[in-house]
């Protein structure tokens, strides 16, 4: 049976009525206010949830436009139309919400204005006969980004308004409790009863609010979910369940984004005579900024590992732009330098200098076992030399990351020859930036030393053991994404070695 806050506290009023009608009247008034504030807080949380979904919907509208500019796929038009319907449905809900008034009505009008601009651009792009040239494409993309940023600012302003209103509502609730406690304490005649009632109120009302507050605090720090244990059968339970639904909706959207992001990565290991390539990934959040790629054409294999600045959704969006820019180039008709130069221009024009991507790109020839590589501000790979049976850091001078500068970006290629039994381990900085209980970093040198103590293992087994070690070393939740990409030369590569000049091998890397 559902018993509301008013009914529960009404029972308290009846007990106190025989002692003091005046105290009961004041207490009842306070309880009425509490009921109103809790109800208002629940409405604000529901409104906050709808506004958050509105932000996700506008992102889902913009993404197909950008992808259409890159690929021209008709599938992106269907995705855009689906997102358009969802966006207007949410906007209609907000207009009907009784808590939306004043400044929020102005925000709705401004959001609709920018959305109309985006819609006009989308119709122009989708309906353009024969496609759009590069210059107009860039202009349209920049204009879409501008309106998307403006909508994001408006939504953020809305969130701040809702947050402020919820906080004010909670403050008023706490103030009402203070008044009630003072009224109970004002009469010595009801001291014992007041103590019992205070305990009861704490159990039935304050405790659920504290639990709800802890849940909100946990989510604000990146918690995965909020499962309310509040069973008060009143408005506070409604508030907790509304917040839980909002969190589930947000996490569902993030999981969908993670699923899409994962599909953009290679799904199978690459195993050809003489070469075995595999990857491992551990995400600190549902989505992240790490990515990798590898593919083969005839006797040439290209591999890549990258780490976009930022975490969570911002890092994932930057990574997706970088991945799309690289994959937009012809895979083997362009050199790795040409691919990176064009990708750097795309990232630089789309984002500011604060947003960048570190990257290591390599090209391996099965004809002569030469390993050509370029390092763009990324971590130097670990190289196992079968002849020496030792792991060392590969000798590579880091260049500028993607997105820092167009004019100063000059990728420098280096090369080595890999022998049968050699292994190359590429990784992102999350691998060695984990900390123990003393807040000490693991460090890449400790990883190198650990690798040199391991028995002869395949690159697959080695990466699994290394990832287990890193997770075990870390104290608390891992704060950064970890990606491993391993290449192993098997015995089948031996037939390529005898024709390679000895002076083509790289100098020894520093240990």
Query: Which band of pLDDT confidence, cut at 50, 70 and 90, is reported for residue 509?
Result: very low
Q: Quick one: what percent of the chain has pLDDT higher than 90?
A: 18
Q: Does 507 have pLDDT greater than 50?
A: no
Mean pLDDT of 244-257: 73
Q: Does 499 have pLDDT greater than 60?
A: no
**Domain presence at residue 509:** no
The last residue of a domain, from among 257, 278, 312: 257
Shared domain check, 253 and 312:
no
Mean pLDDT of 284-304: 83
CATH of the domain at 497: 3.60.40.10
Question: What is the distance, to the nearest Å, from the Cα of residue 83 to the centroid of all Cα atoms in its chain?
Answer: 20
Bridge partners, 382 (sequence order): 393, 425
Shared domain check, 462 and 341:
yes
Q: Does 494 have pLDDT greater than 60?
A: no
Mean pLDDT of 93-104: 77
- Domains: count for the chain: 2
Residue with tokens 């706490």: 174
pLDDT of 326 reads 84
DSSP type of residue 506:
P
3 state SS of 491? helix
Query: Which band of pLDDT confidence, cut at 50, 70 and 90, is reported for residue 511?
Result: very low
Q: Does 73 have pLDDT greater than 80?
A: no
Query: Which band of pLDDT confidence, cut at 50, 70 and 90, is reported for residue 169?
Result: low
Shared domain check, 412 and 291:
yes
Shared domain check, 119 and 193:
yes
What Rg, from alpha-carbon coordinates, does the chain have? 30
B/e letters for 146-185, b = 16+ CB within 10 Å, e = fewer, are ebbebbeebbeebeebbeebbeebbebbeebbeebeebbe
- Burial of residue 263 (number of CB atoms within 10 Å: 0-12, 13-18, 19+): exposed
pLDDT of 7 reads 60
Shared domain check, 310 and 285:
yes
The last residue of a domain, from among 222, 257, 292: 257
Shared domain check, 354 and 384:
yes
Q: Containing domain of residue 424, as a range?
A: 269-504
Which range in 56-65, 126-135, 338-347 is most confidently predicted, on average pLDDT? Answer: 338-347
Higher pLDDT, 94 or 253: 94
Best CA proximity match to 50, nearest among 100, 3, 114 = 100
DSSP type of residue 378:
P
E strands, 120-246, in order: none
* Contacting residues for 236 by C-beta, under 8 A, at least 6 apart: 5, 38, 205, 208, 209, 212, 230
**Domain presence at residue 264:** no
Query: Which band of pLDDT confidence, cut at 50, 70 and 90, is reported for residue 506?
Result: very low
The mean predicted confidence, pLDDT, of the chain is: 77
**Domain presence at residue 23:** yes
Mean pLDDT of 84-100: 80
Query: Which band of pLDDT confidence, cut at 50, 70 and 90, is reported for residue 504?
Result: very low
Shared domain check, 118 and 236:
yes
Shared domain check, 128 and 34:
yes
Residue with tokens 């004043």: 102
**Domain presence at residue 391:** yes
Mean pLDDT of 126-136: 65
Shared domain check, 357 and 453:
yes
Q: Does 121 have pLDDT greater than 60?
A: yes
Q: Does 288 have pLDDT greater than 50?
A: yes
**Domain presence at residue 263:** no
> Do 274 and 365 meet the contact criterion of CB atoms below 8 Å apart?
no
Higher pLDDT, 332 or 367: 367
Query: Which band of pLDDT confidence, cut at 50, 70 and 90, is reported for residue 373?
Result: very high
Query: Which band of pLDDT confidence, cut at 50, 70 and 90, is reported for residue 276?
Result: very high
Shared domain check, 155 and 301:
no
Give the model confidence (pLDDT) of 19-41 as tens digits: 666 655 555 555 566 556 666 66
Give the model confidence (pLDDT) of 48-68 as tens digits: 788 788 778 878 877 887 787
- Burial of residue 498 (number of CB atoms within 10 Å: 0-12, 13-18, 19+): exposed
pLDDT of 391 reads 94
Q: Does 353 have pLDDT greater than 90?
A: no
pLDDT of 498 reads 42
3 state SS of 132? coil
């Amino acid at each position: 049976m559902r018993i509301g806050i008013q009914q529960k506290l009404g029972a308290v009023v009846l007990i106190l009525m025989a002692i003091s009608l005046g105290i009961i009247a004041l207490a009842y008034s306070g309880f009425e206010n509490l009921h109103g504030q809790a109800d208002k807080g629940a409405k604000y949380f529901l409104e906050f949830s709808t506004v958050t979904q509105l932000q996700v919907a506008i992102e889902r509208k913009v993404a197909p436009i950008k992808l259409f500019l890159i690929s021209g796929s008709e599938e992106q038009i269907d995705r855009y139309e689906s997102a358009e319907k969802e966006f207007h449905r949410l906007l209609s809900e907000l207009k009907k919400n009784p808590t939306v008034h004043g400044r929020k009505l102005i925000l709705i009008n401004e959001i609709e204005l920018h959305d109309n601009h985006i819609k006009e651009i989308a119709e122009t792009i989708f309906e353009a006969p024969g496609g759009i040239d590069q210059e107009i494409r860039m202009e349209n993309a920049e204009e879409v980004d501008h309106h998307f940023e403006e909508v994001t600012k408006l939504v953020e302003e809305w969130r701040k308004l809702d947050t402020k209103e919820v906080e004010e509502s909670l403050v008023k609730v706490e103030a009402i409790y203070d008044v009630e406690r003072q009224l109970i304490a004002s009469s010595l005649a009801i001291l014992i009863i007041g103590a019992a009632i205070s305990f009861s109120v704490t159990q039935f009302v304050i405790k659920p609010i504290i639990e709800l507050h802890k849940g909100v605090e946990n989510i604000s720090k990146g918690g995965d979910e909020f499962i309310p244990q509040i069973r008060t059968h009143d408005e506070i339970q409604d508030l907790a369940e509304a917040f839980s639904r909002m969190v589930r909706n947000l996490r569902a959207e993030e999981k969908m984004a993670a699923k899409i992001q994962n599909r953009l990565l290679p799904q199978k290991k690459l195993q050809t005579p003489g070469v075995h390539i595999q990857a491992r990934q551990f995400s600190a959040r549902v989505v992240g900024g790490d990515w990798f790629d590898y593919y083969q054409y005839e006797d040439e294999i290209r591999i890549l590992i990258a780490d976009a600045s930022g975490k969570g959704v911002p890092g994932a969006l930057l990574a997706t732009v970088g991945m799309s820019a690289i994959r937009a180039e012809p895979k083997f008709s362009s050199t790795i330098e040409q691919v990176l130069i064009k990708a750097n221009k795309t990232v630089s024009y789309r984002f500011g200098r604060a947003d960048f991507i570190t990257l290591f790109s390599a090209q391996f020839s099965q004809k002569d076992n030469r390993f050509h590589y370029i390092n763009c501000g990324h971590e130097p790979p670990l190289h196992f030399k079968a002849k020496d049976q030792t792991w060392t850091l590969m000798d590579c001078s880091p260049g500028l990351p993607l997105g820092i500068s167009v004019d100063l970006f000059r990728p420098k290629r280096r090369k080595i020859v890999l022998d049968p039994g050699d292994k190359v381990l590429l990784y992102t900085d999350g691998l060695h930036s984990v900390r123990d209980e003393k807040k000490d970093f693991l460090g890449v040198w400790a990883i190198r030393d650990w690798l040199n103590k391991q028995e002869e293992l395949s690159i697959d087994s080695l990466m699994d053991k290394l990832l287990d070690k890193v997770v075990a070393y870390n104290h608390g939740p891992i704060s950064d994404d970890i990606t491993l990409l391993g290449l192993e030369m098997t015995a089948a590569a031996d037939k390529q070695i005898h024709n390679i000049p000895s002076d083509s091998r790289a100098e020894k890397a520093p240990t």
